[in-house]
Each structure stands twice: as C-alpha cells, then as structure tokens.
Amino acid sequence: MKIPLVAIVGRPNVGKSTLFNRLLGKREAIVDDKSGVTRDRNYGEGDWNGKRFRLIDTGGYVPDSSDLFDTAIREQVELAIDEADSIIFLVDVKAGVNPFDKIIIDMLRQSNKKYFLVVNKVDAEVHVAAASEFYAMGVKTVYDISALSGRHTGDLLDDITKDFPTEDLIEEDKRLKIAIVGRPNVGKSSLTNSLLGLERSIVTDVPGTTRDSLDSVLKYYDEEIILVDTAGLRKKKKVDESIEFFSNLRTLKAISESDVTILLLDASTGFEKQDQKIIDEVIRWRRGLIIAINKWDLIEKETNTARKFEVSIKEKLGTVDYAPIIFISALTKQRIFKLIDLSKKVQSERIKKIPTAELNDALLPEIERNPPPASPTGKEVKIKFISQVGEHYPIFLFFSNFPKHIPDNYRRFLERLIRRTYGFEGVPITVSFRQK
C-alpha cells in the first residue's frame, strides 16, 4: 500500500499555500539536520497521528490573461484529480460562493474521488455564519478553518486521514525502485522502453499503483526492479504553465518514491540549471543519485572525450561529486545493463551499516590529527564518539562537547573522510553533531 496523496485545489488567493504549510507543519527529524522538504515547496510529506501522507499545493500557477484563467483552473483541478487519492477544495469565506467554485465542485463530484470542501479565512466567530452559505453547493460537510491560525485544521486532518493506513500497514516494498528523471527530450522514455523491451524483461502492472500510473516492473535476471513513472502528461493541454508545473510535481513524486534516481542528461547539451534543481531534490529526499549521459553514440569520439566530459560535469556538481557518471545510449542500448547494475550498487551503499567500534577506531585518530577549530570563546572543541544511525540512508552522529560551534567546512571535512574510508558512492550522507 502506497502513502496516500492529497491535493489542494481552488481559485488563486484563497490560501492554498498557507494551508499547505499548516498541514505539513515543520518537519524536524531527530537526527537529520536537513530532512524533509522545505515549507515553501509544492510537494511534501506530512504525518498526522501516525498516518503519513503526501501533499500537493497547486497554488500560484494561473496565468494573468483572463481568457486563459478559466482553462488554467480547470486544468489544475483535472490534473490534481488524476494524481491524488483525496482532494481538498479550498474556498474563501470572504469572497463567498464564486461561479468558478461551482465549476470545480461539479468536476470533483463527477470524479468519484474523495474530496473535502474547506472554507478558509474563518478567523473569528463572525465568519462562521458566512461559511455555512457554502452548504448551497450540495455537500454534506463544510469545514470552516483558518489556515493562518490553525483553527479547526486538526479536525480537518482527522477526517482526511481517517481511512489512511497507519505506518505499520504501509507495506515496505523491498524491490529496488529506480526513477529516471531529467529535462524534456533527454531520452527518458527511450531509456525506459529500451530497458523494458529486452528479452529478459517482463512488464507488469505494479500492485497498488493508481489507475493511470505507468510504474513498471523490470525482470532483471531473477530480480524484480520497479521503474517509477516519470512520463510526461498523457493529454494535450493548452496552458503551458500548468503542464510544466505538474510535470515538475511528477518528477518530485517519482524522486520521493524511488530508492535511486537516475538523472539523465543529453550528451549534446550537457549539464544545465534545471538539472541542478533536480539534484537538490534528490539530496533533500536522501535518495541515491546516478548521472547518466544519454545519446553518447552521437558524440564524435576523440581521445579522452568521456574523461573531459566527466571532469566538466564534476566541476558543476561541486559537493555532489560523489555521484557516479555513466555514458549510455538508450537507442543502441549501450551500457544500459551497467546502469541497472550501478543502481543496485548505489542502493547497497545506501543501506550499508558500519559497526560502531570500527567507525570510531578508523575515524577518531584522523579527527585527533585534524581537530575542529576552537570555539568562539577559545575553548577546545572535541569529538569523542561516532555512531551511524538511520534505517534507509546513512546518518552519522558525532558527539562533541561543543556541537554548535563546529563549522560547516569541518562538517564537509568529516563527510569527505567518511567517503574516503568507506565509499558510499552515489549516496547523500548526513553528518550531524550532538552534545556529549
């Protein structure tokens, strides 16, 4: 069973982004300084009374042009209906019932998806009576809330998550999940088709996926591997902003559902700004990362061409230079087997555990030779103990007498030390400091 997906829809300026932030809350993992998705994003993961859910905010993507306005809202609702298990339809108590609201409620009614009519900006008792006007839209329950203050949002979450599975019922699929992501036209579909078209592959539907999902199972020797769907939208749309927005959301969704993300680049265009944004998301979700250069068969081969290309990419990657780079051709099937093998290797690195005694024996002497700088008051900062925690990706806790005084450049030194000693190729590492 997958983590349920909830979408927030509605006209502009009804408070969708505020509600998105309110429902996600501030996710602060106990041991991971960088865990979770930042609160100003459009896609994130929340938890309510032990029930996890994913949330989409469709706010802020309606064009200024009045003739495209209606079309854009319709598209966003339609696309959200396609993606989500449950939908929050947000309206503004101060604006009253709007003709667009009636269009949206009709679409939701016909969708057979579970939806909740939520009246926002009910900040005081004086607004409660006005909220009841929305019963005229033919719903059984109207939720009057204030996203800003949090009024009644707990009651709303109770009802939204009522039928969601608890953490222990969300089955952990042990199969390796690979997301193939990248800018348009880099060859994502071609690569997926090449992998699935091989004689040793069998394509089946993945149990539990939504009706329109294209997740597939690749039978690789005796192992089943899931290729997470990142395909483009399957309907012709008119408003490009909505298309780009939802395509980006699908990329985020695929990254969050994967173990390893393959970022596909076009050999002729190389590494671009949008690729960096994708990498940022992979790191934010702590997934394995591989850079695959596609269409390598079209590049004229010179001596050291691949090496020069790799050096150029590594320079642009900066601190993410731990991601392996592989040159492939989806068209000629060059090295696509190696890509799967590399994904398996990165996943094994991602779940690798270093025994505590070994970790301390190997790293503490090196730390003593290169200790952290003194605290602002001149006191000696010491790291006394190290342990690895985290079930699904590597988190290293360094216990110190002054953890707050250890600077970022020393954190990077420790990460490099861990990688030099233990590898962790293609895997984001979390280094966290605690009081000893």
pLDDT reading at 145 higher than 70: yes
pLDDT reading at 299 higher than 80: no
Across 331-356, average pLDDT: 92
pLDDT in tens, 259-281: 999 999 988 888 888 888 889 88
Interatomic CA distance for residues 302 and 95, integer angstroms: 65
* Pairwise pLDDT comparison (211 vs 155), residue with the higher score: 155
| CATH number of the domain bearing residue 320 | 3.40.50.300
pLDDT in tens, 76-95: 777 777 778 899 999 998 88
- Taking the model in full, what pTM does it have? 0.73
**Domain boundary, last residue among 168, 200, 218:** 168
pLDDT in tens, 100-137: 888 889 888 888 889 999 999 988 777 788 888 889 88
> How open is the CA angle 284-276-42, to the nearest 5 degrees?
50
Helix (H), strand (E), coil (C) string for 254-316: HHHHCCEEEEEEECCCECCHHHHHHHHHHHHCCCEEEEEEECHHHCCCCCCHHHHHHHHHHHH
Is 41 found in the same domain as 89? yes
Of 102-106, 161-165, 238-242, where does mean pLDDT reach its minimum? 238-242
Is 252 found in the same domain as 331? yes
Is 331 found in the same domain as 375? no
Domain that holds residue 271: 176-350
Is 315 found in the same domain as 282? yes
Is 10 found in the same domain as 53? yes
* Residue 416: partners with Cβ closer than 8 Å, 6 or more residues away: none
DSSP letter at 367 equals H
> How open is the CA angle 287-364-395, to the nearest 5 degrees?
20
And the tokens for 199? 């004689």
Is 150 found in the same domain as 180? no
> What domain count does the chain have?
3
Is 284 found in the same domain as 382? no
Interatomic CA distance for residues 120 and 6, integer angstroms: 17
8 A C-beta contact, residue 160 and residue 113? no
| Listed ranges 6-15, 40-49, 170-179, 334-343; the one with the highest mean pLDDT | 334-343
Model confidence at 201, pLDDT cuts 50, 70, 90, reads: very low
**Domain boundary, last residue among 168, 200, 221:** 168
pLDDT reading at 391 higher than 60: yes
Interatomic CA distance for residues 109 and 105, integer angstroms: 6
- Cα torsion for 139, 141, 142, 146, to the nearest 10°? -150
| CATH number of the domain bearing residue 410 | 3.30.300.20
**Domain boundary, last residue among 326, 350, 374:** 350
pLDDT reading at 429 higher than 60: yes
Across 346-362, average pLDDT: 94
Starting from the edge strand earliest in sequence, which strands make up the sheet with 51-57, in order?
Answer: 43-48, 51-57, 5-9, 86-92, 114-120, 142-144
> Taking Cα atoms as reference points, which of 220, 165, 215 lies closest to residue 195?
220
Model confidence at 243, pLDDT cuts 50, 70, 90, reads: low
Is 323 found in the same domain as 360? no
Is 372 found in the same domain as 418? yes
Q: Taking the CA atoms of the chain, what radius of gyration do you get in angstroms?
A: 24
Is 108 found in the same domain as 218? no
Instruction: Report the pLDDT value the prediction gives residue 330, as an integer from 0 to 100.
Output: 87
Instruction: Report the pLDDT value the prediction gives residue 84, as an integer from 0 to 100.
Output: 84
Of 30-34, 179-183, 314-318, where does mean pLDDT reach its minimum? 30-34
pLDDT in tens, 27-79: 433 333 333 333 345 778 888 888 888 888 876 555 555 656 667 667 777 77
Across 388-417, average pLDDT: 90
Is 379 found in the same domain as 262? no
Across 180-205, average pLDDT: 70
Is 48 found in the same domain as 120? yes
